[in-house]
Chain A
Amino acid sequence: MSSTEHIQVRLNGKDRDITFGHTVQSLLEAIEINPLAVVVELNKQILGRDRYSDFDIREGDTIEVVHFVGGG
């Protein structure tokens, strides 16, 4: 058995298994998202960009990563 523990989260509408121990900041880095180009909502709470490292990702968390796209 691997010693790495996984947790399940809901990320942008999809269930994902990620390794335990991530902060929002490290998760964004792991999925190759530039933290400055997005806005993150954790369990419906919008996070300030300077606080991504303060929030640990926990089992069952819902994370939304959004940005601007074309629209009218």
Chain B
Amino acid sequence: MTTTDLGATAEVSQGLDSPLEIAGVKFTSRLIVGTGKYTTNQIMVDAIRASGAEMVTVAVRRVDLDRTREEAILHHLSSEEFFLLANTAGCHTAEDAIRYARLARAAGFNEFVKLEVIGDDETLLPDVQATIEAAQILTDEGFKVMAYTNDDLITALRLEDVGCVAVMPLASPIGSGLGVVNPYFIREIKRRLEVPIIVDAGVGTASDACLTMEQGVDGVLMNTALAAAKDPVRMAHAMKAATISGRLAFLAGRMKSREIAVPSSPKVGMLD
């Protein structure tokens, strides 16, 4: 696969932006969305379609043999319509994350994995040491690792060193909706790394997505901001627009801000 088949966004086709490319796979949407926590599967599918996202994350869990829980996600989301990015969410050790990644790969869709190793249940902040360790092993096994991490530059550099195909610093804790708490470090990570930077987690509303993209990063990944909105489908439209807006504003290059007013209309030519 070299490009997704969902049709270029207007921005890409008009030459205003280039596709997002991760390990040779091109995406016209810079928004990646999760599939968890929606009240119904239909709302999930409608919201994801409205978001324009091509890459969607999924989790690996036991099949409920008593059939009391929801059905498999692939009953609702076609792997032909969306690029599935399996995650290792819920894993607390490198060993567990590697096990989940291998199970996900055995499902046979692709070699990509969203690596996530949780270090603390209260904040869901990543265990960066375990994340780097798992990233190294998975990369050696041929995985294309997109690593969830905190907004720490040194960790991001190490993740790139061990071969991650994308580094994904958080905007703020998972599910918090606090927005980008540290835009400066997000910019530093983007400035220093070669691989795509996807800001993952913490976006709450459209302005957060826009501000995230204005830092110059390559994409943004969100789940709860859509799933927990009162109207997920409408919020998905908003997030799509905000992601594009922030990206184009970054590429356009904003005016210098100054704490002084400057008139927009000519000073000359005024009547006596």
Q: Do A and B bind each other?
A: yes
Q: Are B57 and A72 in contact (CB under 8 A)?
A: yes
User: Taking A13-B62, A66-B60 as contacts, is the C-beta distance between A72 and B87 under 8 angstroms?
Assistant: yes
Which residues of the other chain, A, contact B61 by a CB distance below 8 angstroms?
66-69
Check B162 for interface membership: any CB of A closer than 8 A. Answer: no
- For B75, give the chain A residue with the smallest CB separation: A37
Which residues of B are found within 8 Å of A46, using beta-carbon distances?
102-103, 106
Contact at B63–A72, with CB atoms within 8 Å? no
Asked if B250 is at the interface (CB within 8 A of a chain A CB), the reply is: no
Is B252 an interface position by the 8 A CB rule?
no
Question: Min CB distance, B173 to chain A, in Å?
Answer: 12
Interface: A33 (CB within 8 A)? yes
The CA-CA distance from A66 to B65 in the complex, in Å, is 10
Q: Tell whether A69 pairs with B103 under 8 Å between CB atoms, given A13-B62, A31-B65.
A: no
Pick from B73, B106, B224: contact of A39, CB under 8 Å = B106
Complex: how many Å from CA A12 to CA B58? Answer: 19
B270 contacts A by Cβ under 8 Å: no
A12 to chain B, nearest CB (A): 5
Interface size bracket, B side? 35 or more
Q: Across the interface, do B63 and A70 meet the contact criterion of CB distance under 8 Å?
A: no
Q: Are B36 and A71 in contact (CB under 8 A)?
A: yes
User: In the bound complex, do residue B57 and residue A37 qualify as a contact, i.e. CB atoms below 8 Å apart?
Assistant: no
**Which chain B residues border A11 with CB–CB below 8 Å?**
65
Q: Is B212 an interface residue (CB 8 A)?
A: no
Known contacts A37-B72, A39-B107, A46-B106; A68/B59 CB under 8 A: yes
- In the complex, are the beta carbons of B72 and A68 less than 8 A apart? yes
Known: A37-B72, A37-B74, A39-B103. A70 touches B37 (CB 8 A): yes
Residues of B within 8 A of A13 (CB): 62
The answer to whether B137 has its CB under 8 Å from any CB of chain A is: no
C-alpha gap A48/B65 in the complex (Å): 21
Could you name 21 residue pairs across A and B whose Cβ atoms are closer than 8 Å?
A: A12-B62, A38-B63, A39-B103, A39-B106, A41-B103, A46-B102, A46-B103, A48-B106, A65-B62, A67-B72, A68-B74, A69-B58, A69-B59, A69-B61, A69-B73, A71-B89, A71-B223, A72-B35, A72-B37, A72-B175, A72-B221
Q: Which 4 A-B pairs have the closest CB atoms?
A: A71-B59, A72-B34, A72-B223, A70-B35
A65-B65, A70-B37 provided; 18 other pairs, C-beta below 8 A? A12-B62, A12-B65, A14-B65, A46-B103, A65-B63, A66-B62, A67-B72, A67-B73, A68-B104, A68-B107, A70-B38, A70-B59, A70-B70, A71-B36, A71-B87, A72-B174, A72-B223, A72-B224
Interface residues of A (CB under 8 A from B): 11-14, 31, 33, 37-39, 41, 44, 46, 48-49, 64-72
Q: Which residues of B contact A (CB under 8 A)?
A: 34-38, 44, 57-63, 65, 70, 72-74, 84, 86-87, 89, 99, 102-104, 106-108, 174-175, 201, 221-224
